[in-house]
Copies of this chain bind each other. A is one copy, B any other.
Amino acid sequence: MSLPATQLQEVHERFAAFLKDRGQRRTPERFAVLDALYDTPDHVDADTLYLRLKNDGVRVSRATVYNTLDLLLESDLAARHQWGQNQAKYERAWAYWQHDHLICLDCGEILEFCDPRLQEIQETVADLYGFEVARHALTIYGHCRRENCPTRPETTE
């Protein structure tokens, strides 16, 4: 579930350095949010993270959770995905680099994959349009063919 202690420490140090660099405080709340996110193997929304922290006896407000998540995004320690039309999902993004997502439209299952051709596409596009590429987000939607996919569409056949 969680990352090995060495990597967790690396992440802490990176966040601390980022904050120091910007003249921002290293508060216990911020590290609590960082830890809660890195304790999550998949994708969480801000409110779930808030509730989880609260439940664990950590006193943080929703405002701080949102604020900290923004800082984590800016420091490349987190990634945000806007899959539904409402809640954003967050995931840890350090020691866990570049991957993309495959989502089942029936059951919502989210799989991760990585394809080197995306790197090539990025380079081609960067060249073609004179862009300096920062990152990309690819999501493939489809239907998983598992028997236990809970929401199979009305099987017409």
**A residues with CB within 8 A of B:** 80, 82-83, 85, 88, 102, 104-105, 111, 113, 115, 117-118, 120-122, 124-126, 128-146
Query: Which residues in B have their C-beta under 8 angstroms from that of A140?
Result: 122, 125, 131, 133, 135-136
A111–B105 Cα distance when bound, in Å, is 27
A144–B134 Cα distance when bound, in Å, is 11
Query: Which residues in B have their C-beta under 8 angstroms from that of A130?
Result: 144-146
Partner of A115, one of B83, B105, B115, B124: B124
Query: Which residues in B have their C-beta under 8 angstroms from that of A83?
Result: 82
A12–B11 Cα distance when bound, in Å, is 54
**Smallest beta-carbon distance A123→chain B, Å:** 11
